[in-house]
Amino acid sequence: MNPEEFRQALAKYQIELDHHQMDQFAQYYQDLVTTNKMVNLTRITEENEVYLKHFYDSITGALALPKLQTASLTLCDIGAGAGFPSLPLKIAFPQLKVTIVDSLNKRISFLQELVDRLGLTDVTLVHARAEDFSKKGSPNREHFDVVTARAVARLSVLSELCLPAAKVGGIFLAYKAQAADDEIAASKAALQKLGGTIRSTYQLELPTVPVPEERNLIIIDKEQSTPNKYPRRAGLPAKKPL
């Protein structure tokens, strides 16, 4: 998917990118591949693949959750790495107020330079472990309208990292590839403990050649407050999932 194909693919869903936004994506790509030579940000570096598997894939969250396209929501991206999905969403929908959390300071430094270069506003970058970011007493706890995570961990683990940051009435949007049904089944106990309920799964295919790649966007409603004992201390959610 080259840049023009990227623009056209989004236009099919009435998501129109102007010249400035396309320039921002082009700069994003250049900075990504340049920094990736020094800091491990992504294994995907070919332009066509970055536009498809990082930029386009990130924006599919706004197909699953259309209010991301128009509402001035607070969005928190847990374990964003090189900024996916939050920064492509921010470029496409500038009204979003984005907070990015990552445990590696080198990635946060890259993202800060990128945000400054792109002229993005209402973007906050936080160097922290997810378990510490929204623990009891943190101002980030149950604060955000939408919390996202992409390719970070299994859903049973992600739920403990992400749901504590979502406000009651908010949403946790999990980006998943295949086997979403298995992960959903395995996460039921965790979701119940953490105050979340799965609303639906939005399924689509990335137009990869020769075989399209399956994607699943799991929409989880934060219906009840998360008990104060969650998230547990750093490392424990991954070692001992709920």
Q: What percent of the chain has pLDDT over 90?
A: 88
Cα distance between residue 163 and residue 38, in whole Å: 33
Could you report the per-residue pLDDT of 194-242, keeping only the tens digit for each?
Answer: 999 999 999 999 988 788 889 999 999 999 999 999 999 999 999 999 8
CB neighbours of 210 closer than 8 A, spacing ≥ 6?
Answer: none
Mean pLDDT score across all residues of the chain: 95
Structural tokens at position 61: 């969250």
Residue 179 has pLDDT above 80, yes or no: no
Provide the CA 35 distance to its chain's centre, in angstroms.
Answer: 20
Task: Specify the pLDDT at position 153.
Answer: 82
pTM: 0.95
pLDDT-derived band of residue 151, with 50, 70 and 90 as boundaries?
confident
pLDDT at 149 exceeding the cut of 80: yes
Rounded Cα gap, residues 24 and 5, in angstroms: 16
Q: Tokens at residue 26, please? A: 């082009």
Region at 179 (left for phi over 0; alpha for psi -120 to 50; beta for the rest): left
Residue positions in the annotated binding site? 79, 84, 130-131, 150
By the 8 A CB rule, do 193 and 201 touch? no
| Mean pLDDT, residues 156-162 | 94
Superfamily holding 60-239 = Vaccinia Virus protein VP39 (3.40.50.150)
Q: State residue 207's pLDDT score.
A: 86
pLDDT in tens, 72-109: 999 999 998 899 999 999 999 999 999 999 999 999 99
Q: Please state the residue numbers annotated as binding site for S-adenosyl-L-methionine.
A: 79, 84, 130-131, 150
Helix (H, G, I), strand (E, B) or coil at 88: helix
